[in-house]
Amino acid sequence: MSLDTRFDGLEKANERLEKENRSIKEDLKELIKAYKSTKEDLRELGKGNEKLEKANERLEKANERLEKANKSTQENLRELGKVNERLEKANERLEKANERLEKENKSTKEDLKKLGKADENLKADIIRMRQSQERLEAQNEKQEEEIQGLRRDLVKEKDLRDEISDSLRQLTVMIIPLHLRVLLDTTRQQILRDMKVESWEDLRGERNAYDLAHWLHSTLPQQSAIAHLPSLGTFTFLCLYNNVRREGNLAAHSATPTQIKEAVQTKPLDSTDRKCLREMFIYAFKDSDI
């Protein structure tokens, strides 16, 4: 698996962890809201109990006042008896109401116990979620460290590639003169084959470079039916001891046609060297795609 693939995999894993972390945070918010709502309900139940106790106190005080009124007046015994009966019935109702309130109070206490347990469970859930969040954060940190390590490795690999590319470019610049020298020699060999001569010295004879160039330019078309013959200037360039040969003589070397073509294409497009080298390449290799 390449460093790029591992890096992508770690990035995706990191994104999934961040999504899970956000989801846990949302769950924590909902639990805290539920916890606050539970506390509000407990406060409301406490207020209800206080109201009931106050009502009981008021009823007891009213009962005391009635008893005092019954003792203070004999004339109104019947009325007071009737009132007393009504009060007793009311008291019975109050007692029943009180019993109901006591039952409700018991039920409220049980609910409070349940809410307390629920509160403890909520706290435990919050603690577990926080621990899970801490683990996820630790995993995120570890993943981030691995990602940083991979990034450093990628930077090193890029630097190494850049160094290799620079070395290749320098090597190419060094090899170019050799390729062009090979093109000169290959062109001469092609002329020898077309003229059916063994060596360049035999072909030249007593002629100087300029005479040889003129002679080849006029004689070679008669010896070979070639579509792309070099010009007189190119023949002159080939026959003279030119800069291309001088640079190539520093290190004789063999090259493929593709390498030679690339070497020719490094010369300025409108230069005489480029024109002559191009014509020689077409003539020597029978390839005009240059």
**176-216 tens-digit pLDDT:** 888 898 899 999 999 999 899 999 999 999 999 999 999 99
pLDDT the model gives residue 92: 86
Q: pTM for the complete prediction?
A: 0.39
- Please return the burial class of 240, using the count of CB atoms within 10 Å of its CB with bins 0-12, 13-18 and 19+: middle
pLDDT confidence tier of residue 237, bands split at 50, 70 and 90: very high
At 50-82, the pLDDT tens digits run: 886 886 788 688 678 867 866 876 776 677 678
The answer to whether the beta carbons of residues 220 and 258 sit under 8 Å apart is no
- Judge contact between 67 and 140, C-beta under 8 A: no
Domain residue extents for the chain: 3-161, 163-285
Q: What is the pLDDT of residues 239-255, one digit of tens each?
A: 998 888 888 876 655 67
Residues across the chain: 290
